[in-house]
Every structure is written in structure tokens, then in C-alpha cells.
Structure 1
Amino acid sequence: MAESALDNVATVHVEKKASKLAAFAKFRELGLLIFIILLCIFVQTRNSSFLTIGNLTDMITNTAILSILALGMMLVIITRGIDLSIGSTLALSGMIVAQTVSVYQGLHPIVAILIGIGIGLVCGVTIGFFVSKIGVLPIIATLAMMNIFRGLTFTVSNGQWVSSYQMPDSFVSIATSKILGINTLVFIAIVIYIIGFYFVNHTRTGRQIYAVGSNPESAKVSGINQTKILLMVYSIMGGLAGLSGVLWVAKFASAQGDTAAGYELTVIAACILGGVSIAGGSGKISGVILGAILLGILNNSLPLMNVSPFWQMAIQGSIILFAVILNALVKRGVERNNLLRRKI
């Protein structure tokens, strides 16, 4: 009797712990939002210039490109993949477009954007082919293509930069112009997220992406074409990276061979902070947006507080590590909660 009572107490304790973690999973984005608000208040107390209109506008603009890339990376990670080549794809797209507009000064900015997206799509389809058709592990395929795309960037540029004075004002103005009173970069990011939200939550293909990441075997038995899904998500990622290359070059008014080197790690970090499971199968667009915003705030606020660049990296790394641990605990809690429900 005594042992039975102890077992019941232990079971109740496990159930409560699992239920709490499962409940936290439902409101994770709210918790992240509260953390961002508290962080903003703290930074403002340390530097009154943080919440000024000028600084906030600059911060949001800087975060726009990161958020666009994070959306594509979310889709890739949900399918249990990874893309380490996006920084190189961005650089290659940006370099070719910069060279093109420097020669054809009258080229319309929309045409330049389409060229960049096209280059990114070619890169993404290439990676998707190796991953979906050949069966190469995503980390191996994208690591190899990262170096190939970066090498192509240096090859087409001959190691030379394309500077702002070589680009037409109409192209550079992509980053400074406004649409409906909103900065063009931010407007493009908003449009992409609206499309992405509808695609993920209200289309059959969007649900299939989650199914492939949650349980590939079950998805295969259900008749889902995994080859098509994998090829599609890497193509989307490539297209968004190509678009980001054009926006990056327009914003910084220069194209270099080492543009966005290592930026893929920042994009992955934004996804992890936003609650996207590196094991695949779970992730929300709202979380990815908040993850990108949090990184944008950290990149902007730490220099304002005169934090050493070395400590900036350590602080960001610590926050990412905390997010990974929290994601693992939440996932374990959800799994335990589901298991207990099945037993009941």
C-alpha cells in the first residue's frame, strides 16, 4: 500500500511537471515577447538613445534581411535539414546583380531583384537536388555548396569590390525608399511573412512540410512526396537568399567577395531563439519573427551599452544556449504529456 501511494505521488509529480512544460510550449512566444520588452526597458535605462525613432528605424531595417532569411531557414529546419550555404548564396547573388546594374545603369530595380531571386533559386534547386534526389546529408551538401558558391563569388568578381559610386541611385534607393510610408526592406519582409504565414498554416503543402519533419516514415506511408517537399524548401531558401543578396548590396551600397560570411549561423540562431526545433517537425512563424527581433535588439543595444565586442559574442552565445536547453526541456515535457494522455 505504501509503495503504491509513493508511486501515485511520483506519477502525479511527473504529470504536473510535464503539464507545466506543455503549457509553456503553448505560450512560448508570449514569454519571448515579454523578455524582449523587459530587455528594451533595461537597455533604455542604460542608454536613453535606444528607444529614439531614429535608432528604432535603423534597428528594424537591419533586422528585415535577417527575418527574411530566418523564414526560409525555418522551413528547412522543420524538415530536419540545415542550410549552411545561404551566406554564400547571398554574396553570389549580390555580386552578380551589383555588377549587372553597374554596367546597365538604367536597369529597373524590380528587374535587379528578379535576377537576384533567379540566381538564388538556381543555388537552392542545386542543393535540393543533392539532398532530395541523391540523398546527400543536408549538412554535407550545403557545406560543400557553401564553399563552391563563395568561390564563384570571388571568381566572377576577380576579387574586386563593387562600390556605391558604380551603382545607379535607383538601385541603392531600394534600401532607403518607402512603400505606403514603410521602408522598402521592411515592407518586403512583411509581405513575405504574410505569404509565408498563409502558406504554412492554410495550405496542404505547408502541413506536409511539418509532416515530413515530424515523422518521415509516416509521411512516406501517407503518400507525401518527400522528394518534392525537400526540393521545394531548399528552393524557397535559395530564392529568399538571392533576394536578400540584392537587398543587402542595396543597403550597404557595396558588394564584396566575403559579404555575409558566417551569417548563416546568425540566421540559424534566430530560428532556435524563436523555438524552431533543430530535430525538425515544429516551429512557428511568430516565434521566428521574435527570434530575429531579439537578435536585432542585441546587435543594436550591446554596443550602445559599451559592451566589449568579445562579451557581445559570449552574451549572444549564452542566450542561444539557454534557448536550446529550454527547447529541449519543453519538447521533453510535451512528449511526456502526450504519453501520459495515451496511458489515460
Structure 2
Amino acid sequence: MSETVLQGANPPEPAEEKTSILASISKFRELGLLGFIILLSIVVQMRNPSFLTVENINDMITNTAILSILALGMALVIITRGIDLSIGATLALSGMIVAQTVSVYQGLNPLLAILLGTVIGIACGLVIGFLVSKIGILPIIATLAMMNIFRGLTFTVSDGKWISSYQMPESFVSIATSKILGINTLIVIAIVIYSIAFYFIDHTRTGRQIYAVGSNPDSAKVSGINQTKILMLVYTIMGGLAGLSGVLWVSKFASAQGDTASGYELTVIAACILGGVSIAGGSGKLSGVILGALLLGILNNALPLLNVSPFWQTAIQGLIILVAVIINVLVKRGVDRNNLLRRKI
């Protein structure tokens, strides 16, 4: 009889071991992503020696700065089990209004232009936050509707016209080309924003509540967390970062158009998913978001250097995103099973 009991107890061990492995992977996901980025960089460098030059690395990181800023805001939204499909339109609206303003007031201080764009984005974020948290509209529906509204407003205020570099003052265009302590201003802005975000997430009560709301909304509500405030906050932050990015985008490309950043929200979401942010909410690290944005930046830079067809570039990026999603799902299942086993023990 004892042998029967022992035989019955043996089969679960492989499942437990598999679960333990997946749980361990979740703890070192960022290291794995960093390893993949290093390996990919080595492979690309072997095929094209110009990839890891100082000039190309600087261009690559500069081009990734705006993506990383947007991915930070999107990560906070996704962690609360939300989504924001309006950030491309918010970016375009902010960029267009600021571009029109600096074209009329040529002497406007660049810092005021940045502030104006950020305020416009915050206003857009507040509207979405109100619809999601107060009215109770699903985030995907609310942001899809506002995406079309913001995009329509962009075409309306611009009357369908572009604003080109010759209409903008040099002081505004130089925001994206200037340097602070030898580092491109866009990179410096991204570093400052992430530094503030790391402190906010790790050392403030509100930062921890964001994860609590996404992890288990019912428990968060019972524990006294004001979910309305948290949702308003994350969508407002997302809007502000999108507004700021609109100013940086127009400065970088020296052009403001009605269709600016159309579809760019999907790239931002992809960076978050690659970085390990769970689309189910409640989990995700800012370090992973940075790496996810960097990986997309490397792919955008490396694939053309390898003479990969533009059509295949999109397919390759999609494949990598799909693999990342599958890994995230498997790891999450492993973590959930591991937690369940611990509770039973």
C-alpha cells in the first residue's frame, strides 16, 4: 500500500519542476532580453561593421528616446489592465498646435513650447481618464473614440496643411539636435523622466497602488485604494507624455502633419509587451520597458543595414512580438501555478 502511495505521489514532480523553471525565468526576464539584444547586436555587427560605430549607436538611441518615453506611460496604463490607442493622435494634436504657435511667435522660449505641448497632452489624458474611471467605458472603446476625435481636431486646427521646418524658429528645431553635457537633449529628457518614474513606482504608495489595481481590482477596492484616482492618474500621465512627445517629434522631424505618428501606438504597445509588461495587468518592470523599446530601435536600425526588404522588416518585427507574447503567457501560467502550489503547501 505504501508503494501505491509513493507511485501516486511521483507523477506531479515534473510539472512542479517545470512550473519552478518558468517562475525562475520570470525573475530574470530582463537579463534574458538584454542577452538577446547583445547577441543580436553582435550578429548584425558581423554582417555590417558600421552598426556598432559611435555615430550609429548615438543615432539609434536618439531615435528610440521618444518611443521609450511613450512606452513608459503605456506601461502604467497596461499595468492597470487598460490600453490607450489615442496616443498617436494626442501626439499629433500637441505637435500641430505647438508648431503653429512657434511659427507665429518665433521668439517663444523652447521650454514654454514643451510646457504647452505637455499641458495639451494632459488635457487629452484627463478626458480619457474621466471616460474610463468615472463613466466606466472600456479603455479600448474610450481611447479608440478619442483617437478619432483628436485626429480630427488635428486636421481641423491645421486646415489640412503642413507646417515645415522653414516656418519654425531655429531655437525650436534645435530642441532635438542640441546637447546637454555632450548628450543629445532627447536622451537626457528620457533619462530624467525614467529616473522620476523609477522613484515614483518603487518608493511611493501611489506607485504601488497602480500595481495593486491591475493585479486584483476587487482586493484593491476592499483595501481602500481609490481606483478612480489611480486610473485618472495613469491616463493623465500617458497624455502628458504623449503631449511632450508631440513637441519632441515635431522638433526632431521639423515637420507637423495631420497624420503624424499614425499607427505609432501599436509600436509603443509592442515595446511594452517585449519588455515583459503583462497585457492582463498587474506586472511589468520599467527596466524591461526600456529594453523592449531599445530592441525595437535596434531592429529598425539594423534591418535596413542588412538590406532586408521593408516588407520582411514588418514581418520579422511581428514574429518577434508574437514570440514575446507566447513567452509572457507561458511564464505567467508558470508563476500562477507556482503561487497556487505554495498556497497548498
TM over 0.5: yes
Counterpart CA distance in 1 for 2:53 and 2:90 is: 34
CA deviations over 1:40-85 (Å, ceiling 9, x no partner): 0000111111111111111000000000000000000000000000
Superposed displacement of residue 291, structure 1? 0.1
Alignment match, 1:30: 31
CA deviations over 1:259-296 (Å, ceiling 9, x no partner): 00000000000000000000000000000000000000
Superposed displacement of residue 4, structure 1? 3.5
SS in 2 for 1:55: helix
CA deviations over 1:128-149 (Å, ceiling 9, x no partner): 0000000000000000000000
Counterpart CA distance in 2 for 1:60 and 1:304 is: 16
Superposed displacement of residue 181, structure 1? 1.6
Counterpart CA distance in 2 for 1:99 and 1:195 is: 30
Tell me if 1:151 matches 2:122: no
Superposed displacement of residue 7, structure 1? 3.3
Alignment match, 2:66: 65
Tell me if 1:186 matches 2:197: no
Counterpart CA distance in 2 for 1:167 and 1:27 is: 46
Q: Which runs of 5+ in 1 are unaligned?
A: none
Tell me if 1:165 matches 2:132: no
Alignment match, 2:206: 205
Q: Which amino acid aligns with 2:298?
A: I
Alignment match, 2:343: 342
Tell me if 1:292 matches 2:330: no
Instruction: Identify which range, 136-145 or 49-58, moves more after superposition.
Output: 49-58
CA deviations over 1:139-164 (Å, ceiling 9, x no partner): 00000000000000000001100000
CA deviations over 1:138-197 (Å, ceiling 9, x no partner): 000000000000000000001100000000000000001011221100000000000000
Superposed displacement of residue 3, structure 1? 5.2
Alignment match, 1:232: 233
Superposed displacement of residue 123, structure 1? 0.2
Counterpart CA distance in 2 for 1:189 and 1:93 is: 18
Alignment match, 1:220: 221
If the length of structure 1 is used for normalisation, what is the TM-score?
0.99
SS in 2 for 1:283: coil
Superposed displacement of residue 14, structure 1? 1.1
Superposed displacement of residue 6, structure 1? 4.0
Counterpart CA distance in 2 for 1:6 and 1:173 is: 73
Alignment of 1:90-129 (within 5 A): 90-129=91-130
Q: Which amino acid aligns with 2:234?
A: V
Instruction: Identify which range, 174-183 or 122-131, moves more after superposition.
Output: 174-183
Alignment match, 1:264: 265
* Identity over aligned pairs, percent: 80
Counterpart CA distance in 1 for 2:290 and 2:4 is: 49
Counterpart CA distance in 2 for 1:58 and 1:295 is: 14
Superposed displacement of residue 15, structure 1? 1.1
Counterpart CA distance in 1 for 2:8 and 2:292 is: 41
Alignment match, 1:39: 40
If the length of structure 2 is used for normalisation, what is the TM-score?
0.99
Q: Which amino acid aligns with 2:341?
A: L
Alignment of 1:245-264 (within 5 A): 245-264=246-265
Let me know the Cα RMSD of the aligned residues: 0.8
Q: Which amino acid aligns with 2:117?
A: G
The count of residues paired between Structure 1 and Structure 2 equals 344
Counterpart CA distance in 1 for 2:7 and 2:297 is: 49
SS in 2 for 1:219: helix
After TM superposition, the runs of 4+ consecutive aligned structure 1 residues lying more than 6 A away are none
